[in-house]
């Protein structure tokens, strides 16, 4: 899979990566899909608060960026499943240290307060 071309110019790699994962919901979608392949409704339940319209839009964008794979099964009723590509798994691996930083520095430490 080649490099994804997005409009605009980037100052650095972090700038480019943030363009791919920017917004309130994309990292939560990535987190949910890191666990397993999900259907649209399952994914919506895993990301509480996201609307169907926004979820569908973000999934299309992530698919276009080569992060999410959409698989349609020829069944009645139709079944569509979403999973992470190798690029998506690598992105989640790259985000893990950021998540660790957030847990250590932003989330309240209940053990220390009690």
Residue 102: pLDDT over 70 = yes
SS (H, E, C) the chain: CCCCCCCCCCCCHHHHHHHHHCCCCHHHHHHHHHHCCEEHHHHHHHCCCCCHHHHHHHHHHHHHCCCEEEEEECCCCCEEEEEECHHHHHHHHHHHHHHHHHHHHCCCCHHHHC
Residue 25: pLDDT over 90 = yes
What was the pLDDT predicted at 13? Answer: 86
CB 98 within 8 A of CB 28: no
Find the mean pLDDT for residues 57-76: 95
What was the pLDDT predicted at 78? Answer: 86
């Amino acid at each position: 899979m080649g490099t994804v071309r997005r409009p605009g110019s980037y100052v650095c790699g972090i700038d480019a990566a943030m363009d791919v994962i920017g917004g309130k919901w994309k990292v939560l979608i990535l987190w949910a899909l890191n666990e397993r392949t999900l259907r649209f409704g399952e994914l919506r339940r895993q990301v509480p608060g996201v609307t169907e319209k926004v979820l569908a839009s973000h999934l299309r964008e992530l698919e276009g960026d080569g992060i999410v794979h959409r698989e349609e099964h020829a069944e009645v009723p139709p079944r569509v499943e979403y999973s992470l590509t190798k690029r998506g798994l690598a992105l989640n691996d790259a985000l893990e240290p950021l998540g660790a930083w957030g847990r250590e520095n932003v989330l309240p430490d209940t053990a220390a307060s009690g």
